[in-house]
């Protein structure tokens, strides 16, 4: 048993490494000739035989097989042409089995959208191959989906605009190919790519991967783009109108290798495989979360990169610079792809509330890198103690910005406490000075002179300015708590 599991994990890692190493600067072999042939096949002179199996999702694990050669099966399986259609497409398969998330996603869709047709694309026969072979088959499966939609158009006059394709990993690119192969004046309404596969697709032209051209609206969630040993499981580049990068888009909370022991407890010998797939599959669970927790929708913000986002400078919503991650995204097509960032928790519900903390210092402390802690008090909650570490020496009359995330809504901010914790070395030195020279003036000990403090809530876009509660509150002595309250003339910036 141990040997079989170990070989499975080795196969997973080796195949991914192999495919990524050969993907640099190359396209899937024969892609353009295949593309021409598939377009020709969509209007065949002989009955089209699909390589994929399409199953109408009913409830639980109950499905009903659709047959495009016998269109009456659509009626007998309960297809309602008045309702929109969602097609879920899985990715590469290591063991040849349908992954459990497929049923979870389908169930969440049916339970929360109700009047909806949900179809599952089963391409396991092609997906359970070496990764390069499975990747080569994505165009074939895309053609199968396009033919299914073409049949629905002919039989039910079902418009492509009512179709939403949701694809995971290789399934994301399959969905893109389906959109590009479907002929007609109207494109597919929406395609959602859940961590679209990177190997053999990273750096490719829009015609050779999922792209914004494949549907009226395309969104993608990138959760495992971190490169290690030259490997990136998910694609890093933009492939949609809105590309979401939760937690920077690389490793996700609870998925780092340091969590391997936790995974061993839960999964036993399969722990390594679970750790490897954890971040990749997180994209699926973030989407499911958006369906199950309607009152806790995760908001993401347009930003140049994750480093800038971590500094808290990107919490803006003007000109469609923020959007909701998941099913309820605002469909606002843009001329160019938008990269959006957000922080999430390690488990469902994943939502975190984002706050921009801005503080200005009037004076400087030579050779000091102060560390501040704060606590925010709102009309609903108290944040508790939050660290605001400085990784650089402060300069006079300069404003510093930080990103704060919380797992609860504080409501309207009313007050904050600020505590300056100086470096241990400085604290010890000052303590010795007071011991050796007890008459030293304690009021002369180091202090920071604070200018303006403001906090902006990303989810509400409200900015609150804070003023010292006392006249001398502008001066912060080390190890002293200073209270700030909402300024009387506070107004949004």
Query: Quick check: 177 and 147 in contact, CB under 8 A?
Result: no
* Active-site entry in 280, 285, 354, 383: 280
CA–CA dist 189, 186 (Å, integer): 8
CA–CA dist 81, 154 (Å, integer): 12
> H or E element: which one contains 262?
helix 260-267
- Measured at the alpha carbon of residue 174, what is the angle toward residues 337 and 305, in degrees to the nearest 5? 25
Annotated catalytic, 285? no
Annotated catalytic, 409? no
Q: Looking at residue 462, what DSSP letter applies? A: -
Q: Which residues contact 163 (CB under 8 A, 6 or more apart)?
A: 84, 85, 86, 87, 149, 188, 189, 190
CA distances to 218, 236, 286, 309, 323 from 327, rounded to whole Å, are 12, 21, 10, 23, 11
Nearest to 359 by CA among 327, 402, 392, 328: 402
254: buried, middle or exposed (CB in 10 Å: 19+, 13-18, 0-12)?
middle
CA–CA dist 305, 314 (Å, integer): 10
Query: Quick check: 173 and 199 in contact, CB under 8 A?
Result: no
Q: 382: annotated binding-site residue?
A: no
SS3 409: coil
Q: 336: annotated binding-site residue?
A: no
SS3 274: helix
Per the DSSP assignment, residues forming a β-bridge with 197 are: 234
Four-point Cα dihedral 37, 42, 46, 52, nearest 10 = 90
Annotated catalytic, 173? no
Cis amide leading into 253 (omega within 30): no
CA–CA dist 199, 216 (Å, integer): 26
Q: What sign does the CA torsion over 272, 275, 276, 281 have?
A: positive
Neighbours of 373 (CB within 10 A): 15
Query: Quick check: 476 and 484 in contact, CB under 8 A?
Result: no
SS3 296: coil
* Active-site entry in 93, 169, 211, 283: 169
345: buried, middle or exposed (CB in 10 Å: 19+, 13-18, 0-12)?
middle
Nearest to 448 by CA among 354, 378, 364, 373: 364
CA distances to 161, 251, 463, 469 from 492, rounded to whole Å, are 40, 35, 5, 20
Residue list, annotated binding site for Ca(2+): 209, 214
Q: Which residues are annotated as a binding site?
A: 209, 214
Q: Supply the residues annotated as catalytic.
A: 169, 195, 280
């Amino acid at each position: 048993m141990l040997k079989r599991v170990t070989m499975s994990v080795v196969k997973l890692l080796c195949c991914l490494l192999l495919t990524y190493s050969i993907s640099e600067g190359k396209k899937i072999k024969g892609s353009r000739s295949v593309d021409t042939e598939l377009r020709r096949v969509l209007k065949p002179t002989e009955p089209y035989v699909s390589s994929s199996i399409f199953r109408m999702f009913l409830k639980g694990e109950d499905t009903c097989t659709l047959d495009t050669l016998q269109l009456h099966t659509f009626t007998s399986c309960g297809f309602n042409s008045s309702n929109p259609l969602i097609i879920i497409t899985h990715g590469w398969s290591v063991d040849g089995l349908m992954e459990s998330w497929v049923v979870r996603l389908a169930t969440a869709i049916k339970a929360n959208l109700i009047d909806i047709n949900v179809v599952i694309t089963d391409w396991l026969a092609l997906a359970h191959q070496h990764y390069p072979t499975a990747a080569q088959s994505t165009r074939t499966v895309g053609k199968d989906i396009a033919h299914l939609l073409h049949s629905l158009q002919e039989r039910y006059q079902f418009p492509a605009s009512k179709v939403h394709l949701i694809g995971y990993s290789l399934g994301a690119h399959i969905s893109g190919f389906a959109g590009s192969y479907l002929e007609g004046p109207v494109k597919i309404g929406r395609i959602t790519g859940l961590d679209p596969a990177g190997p053999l697709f990273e750096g490719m032209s829009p015609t050779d991967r999922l792209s914004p051209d494949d549907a009226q609206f395309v969104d993608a969630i990138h959760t495992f783009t971190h490169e290690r040993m030259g490997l990136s499981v998910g694609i890093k580049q933009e492939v949609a109108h809105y590309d979401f990068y939760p937690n920077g888009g690389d490793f996700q909370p609870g998925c780092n290798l340091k969590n391997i022991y936790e995974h061993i407890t839960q999964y036993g010998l399969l722990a390594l495989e679970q750790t490897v797939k954890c971040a990749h599959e997180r994209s699926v669970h973030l989407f499911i979360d958006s369906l199950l927790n309607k009152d806790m929708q995760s908001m993401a913000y347009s930003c140049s990169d994750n480093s800038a986002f971590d500094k808290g400078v990107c919490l803006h919503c003007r000109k469609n610079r923020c959007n909701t991650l998941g099913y309820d995204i605002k469909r606002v097509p843009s001329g160019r792809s938008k990269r959006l960032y957000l922080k999430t928790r390690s488990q469902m519900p994943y939502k975190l509330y984002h706050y921009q903390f801005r503080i200005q210092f009037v004076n400087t402390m030579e050779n000091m890198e102060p560390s501040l802690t704060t606590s925010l008090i709102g009309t609903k909650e108290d944040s508790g103690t939050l660290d605001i570490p400085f990784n650089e020496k402060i300069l006079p009359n300069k404003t510093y910005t930080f990103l704060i995330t919380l797992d609860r809504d504080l409501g309207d901010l009313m007050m904050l406490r600020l505590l300056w914790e100086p470096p241990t070395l400085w604290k010890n030195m000052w303590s010795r000075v007071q011991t050796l020279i007890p008459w030293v003036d304690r009021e002369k000990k180091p202090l920071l002179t604070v200018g303006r403090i403001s906090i902006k809530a990303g989810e509400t876009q409200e900015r609150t300015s804070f003023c010292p509660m006392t006249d001398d509150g502008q001066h912060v002595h080390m190890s002293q708590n200073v209270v700030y309250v909402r300024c009387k003339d506070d107004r949004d910036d």
